[in-house]
Amino acid sequence: MKRLYIFVTLALVLALALPVAAKTTFISIGTGGTGGIYYPYGGGVAEIWSKYVPGVKAVAEVTGASVENVKLAHKGETVVGEVMGDVAVAGYKGLSKFKGKKHNILAMAIMYPNLLQMVTLKKSGITNVEQVRGRNISTGSPGSGTNFMTETVFKALGIPLDSYKDSRLSFTESANALRDGTIDLGSWSVGPGTSSILDLATTHDIRIIGFTPEQTAKILAANSTYSAVELAAGVYRGVDKPVPTIGVWNVMICQGSLDTDLVYKLVKALYEHRDYLIKIHPSAAYTTPENAVKYSPIPLHPGTIKYLKEKGIEVPQKLIP
């Protein structure tokens, strides 16, 4: 009995001395299609989190983009999502396509501004957005921020949504359809210099449709998260003059119930290794703590607020949930 007691005691001591296996937290980031910036940006964020946040394994997921990402984050199928600011507001407040249902989301970080880029081939003859009536076009994939923004713009300009045939294609599919002549215009809400348009412009003469001052005023009156911006000349081959268009900030959202300390660690790693993200895409230069309080369209997660206060950045009351 004495020997058995000693054996059991030693076994307990050894068991307590062995390191406990660390629990791994899996984080899925909802991005968009592979032809835009969301996917490579999200992939870079996933690499940063997996490498620099102990116990975290993150992965970027291809999704239908902004509208779908809000729904996925709310349900917990992906706890982090990349979305356009107008969609974040609609989801948070339960407006528009969210049909009165407020979604459990908060902002983690501001990413970069999207520009609405309505692309056609020069041979189509389209020079004004109102010429889409009676045409075959793509307003972006279902559930995307591009589709949401394009339809908002059309409604503001009095263009009926049933006045054109909408294929609702992804960025890559829209570029291919323009090449093949199966659509006359494709819509992108994305950071300037996106790969699908760059590739199209290398083989075809493209035109990016700008907005008149009168059209811009109507669009801005329809959505307070939009701003008047210019697509710089020379971003795409053959687009040699600035194009007046509409911009909206992208925001990284997360499920509102995520642990504060976890979000704090994720945000801290994101900002402290932003230089890596900029190497993936230069638009990440806009991903700064200062821009989080300047441009976030919805309240910030307490974990983000904790980090910002630690950095001495004042968080306005409207961004505190």
Residues contacting residue 280 through CB under 8 Å, at least 6 positions apart: 40, 41, 43, 44
Give the range of the structural domain holding residue 282, as residue numbers without chain letter. Answer: 25-112+251-319
SS3 content of the chain, % helix, strand, coil (to 5): 45, 20, 35
Cα 146 to Cα 84, 86, 119, 192, 229, distances in angstroms = 9, 10, 13, 14, 17
- pTM listed for this prediction: 0.85
Last residue of a domain, one of 225, 248, 271: 248
**Number of domains making up the chain:** 2
| pLDDT value at 318 more than 90 | yes
Instruction: Give a yes or no: residue 5 inside a domain.
Output: no
Instruction: Give a yes or no: residue 8 inside a domain.
Output: no
Task: Give the HSE-up count for residue 139: Cα atoms under 13 Å, Cβ half-sphere.
Answer: 23
Instruction: Give a yes or no: residue 4 inside a domain.
Output: no
Residue 257 structure tokens: 């119930």
Cα 19 to Cα 15, 23, 55, distances in angstroms = 9, 12, 14
First-to-final CA distance of the chain: 62
* Residue 22, pLDDT score: 63
CATH number at residue 148: 3.40.190.10
Shared domain check, 235 and 119: yes
Instruction: Give a yes or no: residue 172 inside a domain.
Output: yes
Q: What is the pLDDT of residues 242-262, one digit of tens each?
A: 999 999 999 999 999 999 999
Question: Rounded mean pLDDT of the chain?
Answer: 93
- Number of C-beta neighbours around residue 123 at 10 A: 11
Residue 252 structure tokens: 């990284």
Contact 292, 110 (CB under 8 A): yes
Shared domain check, 125 and 243: yes
Mean pLDDT along residues 14-18: 46
Cα 40 to Cα 14, 30, 152, 283, distances in angstroms = 46, 12, 27, 11
Q: What is the pLDDT of residues 145-174, one digit of tens each?
A: 999 999 999 999 999 999 999 999 999 999
Higher pLDDT, 246 or 17: 246
Contact 247, 85 (CB under 8 A): no
Instruction: Give a yes or no: residue 13 inside a domain.
Output: no
Shared domain check, 307 and 257: yes
Shared domain check, 127 and 53: no
Instruction: Give a yes or no: residue 15 inside a domain.
Output: no
Model confidence band, residue 35 (pLDDT cutoffs 50, 70, 90): confident
| pLDDT value at 1 more than 70 | no
Helix (H, G, I), strand (E, B) or coil at 233: coil
- Distance, CA of 216 to CA of 137 (rounded, Å): 21
Q: In 94-194, where does DSSP find H-type helix?
A: 145-156, 171-180
Shared domain check, 241 and 129: yes
Helix (H, G, I), strand (E, B) or coil at 206: strand
Residue corresponding to tokens 């950045």 = 313
Cα-Cα-Cα-Cα dihedral of 196, 45, 50, 253, to 10°?
A: -120
- Distance, CA of 26 to CA of 269 (rounded, Å): 16
- Distance, CA of 28 to CA of 258 (rounded, Å): 13
Mean pLDDT along residues 43-50: 98
Instruction: Give a yes or no: residue 101 inside a domain.
Output: yes
Instruction: Give a yes or no: residue 2 inside a domain.
Output: no
